[in-house]
Amino acid sequence: MAAGASTSPGASPDLTPSQLDTLRGYGTEREIAAGDVLFAPGDATYDFNAIVEGKVGIYDGDRLIVEHGAPRFLGEMNLLVGGGVYLTARVTEPGRIIAVPPEALRRVLGQEPALSELILRVFLLRRSFLVGQGVGVRVIGSRFDPQTRRLIEFCSRTRLPHVWVDLERDPDSEALLRELDVPPEDTPVVIWGEHVLRNPSNAELADAVGLTVHYDAHGEAVDLLVVGAGPAGLAATVYGASEGLATTTVEMVAPGGQAGTSSRIENYLGFPAGLSGDELTARALVQSEKFGAHVVSPRQACGLRCEDGLFVLEVGQGEEVSARSVLIATGAQYRKLDIPGFDRDGVYYAATEMEAQRCANSEVAIVGGGNSAGQAAVFLAGRVRRVHLMCRRPSLAATMSRYLVDQVESDPRIVVHQCTEVREVCGGDDLDGIVVEDNRTGERRGLPATALFVFIGADPHTKWLRDVVALDEDGFVLTGRDLPPADDGRQPVLLETSVAGIFAAGDVRHQSIKRVASAVGEGSMAVRLVHDHLATRV
């Protein structure tokens, strides 16, 4: 729940006397004795605790991670966005704390701007620290097993602290499986507290660790149903709820979308120092909750139909959501390279702290010429020995923002290979190189790399929509003037699909601009169009 200042600067700030007084207005001050446990694994949630006197240790089992004293506070991101408790907070020196219940903490975040900024920033820093500390969920499985890779990706996308025990590398893994009475064919296995899950689905894992948020509207239809919680979907969620619409958002994996995996977004308005996709997502989720929206995840959109004048979304596990209007913001899935050896460990679609730790001090390769590739190159350059950036065009300028081109070209640790495409991934158990080809001359050569990061675009998540709204030949949703007039002669408005009341925003939309700011703009703009549509139904 907490990180030590020595390991994560800024993650253990002192509260001022006035800030402590503010928290007293939201919580209860009480005595604590040595040995008291404030929270422990298995708890569904816990209080936000500000230490007035005394000390509290944060433990992973018997291992002390950090000890906090007055006037600091305890907690991390799972207090805001869900997820079970996986560490223990034990009092090591008696004193007093101010205990603020989770629901009261949300009021603090909504009503106390200075405290809100401090708490959110510290929680994000602590989660980033904990991701690399070997705590949380334990995944036991082979790197060659697609199901193992699925679970690892899910943990990474949800920023769930986890440890991966690779059956191919860990000499103690077989003994551990025997101890758990799990045959190798039943792997991957996930261990969470007392639970042993055999090859769980993403939804089952989310249920076990407390990440799942269920839909519960008592059968009532919402005003706005947002499908997808990337930047466009989150923007619509925040703006819709803030403007009085009953808003529910359904996300199939983890809020944030592709932007949520970005290490640094530097061209987003109002953040001159940049912000991570993680930070953007966390802030949006806090805002959406502040305004009363419901973000339900992980839930897969399975089908959409019109029934009695309402839209009904099937989200799996027997759940359905009814709505008066729908915004499709499902984004797109990572496109893969069709080359030999591609489907193996060491190929990634995001460059976060987790991936950077796995390939620290080595040479890595990146495929792509857009902003995502540029951001990954700049981020990784500070953590690996060398970055090889493959771009199939003769210049990065055509597809990458100028500020990123300047950063990439000025960094001596980044080597840009223009007019170059990857043809093969090499190595035995471990990826140890790639074969690239000059697309002008056909010349091939090898490059050393222990990891390959792929940012070559994406395909839309619209298979569930093929019989519902009009799509282009690539599966992107057609909107506005890309559609013919309706039978009554009315031209669909901007962002409106071929079905009145269903809108689309962000990467899922035909010819959308693939930028975070554009997606946020479309998501917020869609709310105005939803209001107009709902007004015609009165």
Could you read off the pLDDT of 79-97 as tens digits, one per residue?
887 778 989 999 999 999 9
Q: Can you give the pLDDT at residue 8?
A: 61
Q: Can you give the pLDDT at residue 458?
A: 75
Q: Phi and psi at residue 115, in whole multiples of 5°?
A: -65, -40
Q: Average the pLDDT over each of 291-300, 318-327, 342-351, 386-395 and give the range with the smallest value.
A: 342-351
Q: Can you give the pLDDT at residue 250?
A: 93
CB 158 within 8 A of CB 254: yes
Collapse the DSSP code of 394 into the 3-class scheme (helix H, G, I; strand E, B; otherwise coil) and give the result.
coil
9 found inside a domain: no
Q: Can you give the pLDDT at residue 77?
A: 87
Identify any residues that bridge with 250 across adjacent strands, giving them in sequence order: 227, 296
Q: Can you give the pLDDT at residue 329?
A: 97
Which structure tokens are listed for 213?
Answer: 């948020």
Confidence of residue 4 (pLDDT cuts 50, 70, 90): very low
CB 261 within 8 A of CB 352: yes
CB 212 within 8 A of CB 298: yes
Judged against a pLDDT cut of 50, whether residue 228 lies above it is answered with yes
Same domain flag for 328 and 472: yes
For residue 351, give every residue at least 6 positions away whose Cβ sits within 8 Å of its Cβ, in sequence order, or none: 261, 263, 366, 375, 376, 379, 380, 453
Judged against a pLDDT cut of 60, whether residue 7 lies above it is answered with no
The DSSP element (H or E) to which 310 belongs, if any, is: strand 310-314
Average of per-residue pLDDT across 172-181: 86
Among candidate residues 456, 477, 495, the one where a domain is terminated: 456
Rounded (10°) CA dihedral 248, 254, 258, 262: 120
Instruction: Give the span between the Cα atoms of 409 and 364, in whole angstroms.
Output: 17
Among candidate residues 101, 131, 161, the one where a domain is terminated: 131
Confidence of residue 5 (pLDDT cuts 50, 70, 90): very low
272 found inside a domain: yes
Q: Give residue-wise pLDDT tens across range 25-35.
A: 999 999 999 99
Judged against a pLDDT cut of 60, whether residue 498 lies above it is answered with yes
Confidence of residue 110 (pLDDT cuts 50, 70, 90): confident
Q: Can you give the pLDDT at residue 9?
A: 64
Q: Can you give the pLDDT at residue 503?
A: 98
Q: Can you give the pLDDT at residue 131?
A: 78
Is this model's pTM higher than 0.75 or not?
A: yes
Among candidate residues 131, 158, 193, the one where a domain is terminated: 131
62 found inside a domain: yes
Confidence of residue 200 (pLDDT cuts 50, 70, 90): very high
Over pLDDT 90: what percentage of the chain? 55
Average of per-residue pLDDT across 353-370: 88
Q: Can you give the pLDDT at residue 470?
A: 96
Confidence of residue 3 (pLDDT cuts 50, 70, 90): very low
**What is the separation of C-alpha 417 from the centre of its chain, rounded to a whole number of angstroms?**
30
Q: Average the pLDDT over each of 133-137, 244-248, 527-531 and give the range with the smallest value.
A: 133-137
172 found inside a domain: yes
Same domain flag for 47 and 124: yes
Same domain flag for 21 and 125: yes
Same domain flag for 298 and 401: no
Q: Which residue has the higher pLDDT, 55 or 297?
A: 55
Same domain flag for 77 and 107: yes
Classify strands 458-460 and 247-250 as parallel, antiparallel or unpaired: unpaired
Other Cβ atoms within 10 Å of 95 Cβ, number = 18
Q: Can you give the pLDDT at residue 180?
A: 86
Q: Quick one: which of 86, 87, 91 has its CA closest to 53?
A: 91
Judged against a pLDDT cut of 90, whether residue 127 lies above it is answered with no
CATH code at position 71: 2.60.120.10
Q: Quick one: which of 159, 79, 87, 89 has its CA closest to 119?
A: 79
CATH code at position 413: 3.50.50.60
Q: Average the pLDDT over each of 99-108, 368-377, 426-435 and give the range with the smallest value.
A: 426-435
99 found inside a domain: yes
List the 444-448 sheet strands across, edge first.
Answer: 420-427, 431-438, 444-448
CB 188 within 8 A of CB 141: yes
- Specify burial of residue 314 (Cβ count, 10 A radius: 0-12, 13-18, 19+): middle
Judged against a pLDDT cut of 70, whether residue 502 lies above it is answered with yes
Confidence of residue 132 (pLDDT cuts 50, 70, 90): confident
Burial 366-396 (b: 16+ CB within 10 A, else e): bbbbbbbbbbbbbbbbebbebbbbbbbeeeb
Same domain flag for 470 and 506: yes
Which structure tokens are listed for 55?
Answer: 């000390």
10 found inside a domain: no
Q: Can you give the pLDDT at residue 312?
A: 95
Measured at the alpha carbon of residue 156, what is the angle toward residues 153 and 162, in degrees to the nearest 5?
A: 105
Same domain flag for 113 and 182: no
Average of per-residue pLDDT across 241-260: 90
Q: How many domains does the chain have?
A: 4
219 found inside a domain: no
Average of per-residue pLDDT across 48-68: 95
Judged against a pLDDT cut of 50, whether residue 422 lies above it is answered with yes
Same domain flag for 301 and 358: no
Same domain flag for 483 and 450: no
Other Cβ atoms within 10 Å of 198 Cβ, number = 14
Confidence of residue 194 (pLDDT cuts 50, 70, 90): confident
Over pLDDT 70: what percentage of the chain? 96
Confidence of residue 344 (pLDDT cuts 50, 70, 90): low
Task: Give the structural domain span for 478.
Answer: 224-333+459-537
Q: Can you give the pLDDT at residue 2?
A: 40
Average of per-residue pLDDT across 336-347: 75
For residue 406, give every residue at least 6 positions away whose Cβ sits within 8 Å of its Cβ, in sequence order, or none: none
Same domain flag for 126 and 24: yes
Judged against a pLDDT cut of 70, whether residue 426 lies above it is answered with yes
Instruction: Give the span between the Cα atoms of 259 and 372, in whole angstroms.
Output: 9
Confidence of residue 153 (pLDDT cuts 50, 70, 90): confident
Q: Which residue has the higher pLDDT, 111 or 349?
A: 111
Measured at the alpha carbon of residue 281, what is the angle toward residues 280 and 283, in degrees to the nearest 5?
A: 70
Average of per-residue pLDDT across 363-386: 93
11 found inside a domain: no
Judged against a pLDDT cut of 70, whether residue 274 lies above it is answered with yes
Which structure tokens are listed for 475?
Answer: 């599966």
CATH code at position 172: 3.40.30.10
Judged against a pLDDT cut of 90, whether residue 377 lies above it is answered with yes
Same domain flag for 374 and 468: no
Same domain flag for 192 and 259: no
